[in-house]
Homo-oligomer: A and B are copies of this chain.
Amino acid sequence: MTEPSTSTTRTVDALRELILRGELQPGERLAEVDLATRLGVSRTPVRSALTQLASEGLVDIAPNRGARVVTWTVQELEDVFDLRTTLEPRAAALAAGNATAGDTAELADLAERMVGVGSPGPRQDLDVLAELNRQFHDRLSTLAGNSALAGALSGAVHAPIVLRNFHTYDVASLRRSLAHHVEIVAAIRAGDAVWAEAVMTAHMRNARAVMVTAAQAAEPDAPDRSTDRA
């Protein structure tokens, strides 16, 4: 069942990694020959990879004008969070009805480790936290048992800023976020879909509030924003 590895698939993975890690910054021009020499392949798999990443929503391609890493406006970021606020609670509710004891244990383990590396102090590591968070939500998405829902979610979460966002959390929001994961596990263990859905909704709204604030701070010249610096 292992996906055969072709130059194209490797190029896709490499580019996605570069973009998600931020080594290719939003708005940056992606010249085909440049990437090709950099990755040691010809232009053909690079082109193929770019079109694929384009439909994943990671790059924008304008005919005859090349590809660029997607840039996110505050509006689009809010849109993504609104979408996630619609989808993730549904996934949590479905997961609450499907999870076995083993599944719940896995989620509990993840949530516990997140508290470990996420709590303020010397052992805090926000990059590890981000990875665990991704695993947690992925696991939940899979547990929901709806492939279409999972696909829609994975498309929405790709926004690089979403994946590397814990650095922007203030202490109170971060504590809430960690507590949410633990509570979601509790709701799922209890098989309570309504409870899981409600906590996940709160989780998303909390994340959205942090995110939007950070994005506005990062775009100080953003037009027409009533709340700005103090």
Contact = CB atoms under 8 A, between A and B. Distances in A.
Interface stretch (A109-117, A129-137, A147-155): A147-155
Contacts of A156: 148, 152
Contacts of A40: none
Interface in A65-111: 76, 79-80, 82-83, 86-87, 90
Interface residues on A, range: 20 to 34
B147 A230 contact: yes
Given A3-B63, A4-B63, A6-B63, A79 B47 contact: no
B147 A79 contact: yes
A56 B52 CA distance: 9
Contacts of A79: 146-149
Contacts of A90: 86
A82 B51 contact: no
User: Which of A3, A57, A152: most chain B CB closer than 10 A?
Assistant: A152
Interface of A: 3-4, 6, 9, 47-48, 51-52, 54-57, 62-64, 76, 79-80, 82-83, 86-87, 90, 146-149, 151-152, 155-156, 230
5 contacts: A4-B64, A48-B48, A52-B52, A79-B147, A83-B148
The 4 closest A-B pairs by CB, nearest first: A55-B55, A79-B148, A4-B63, A152-B152
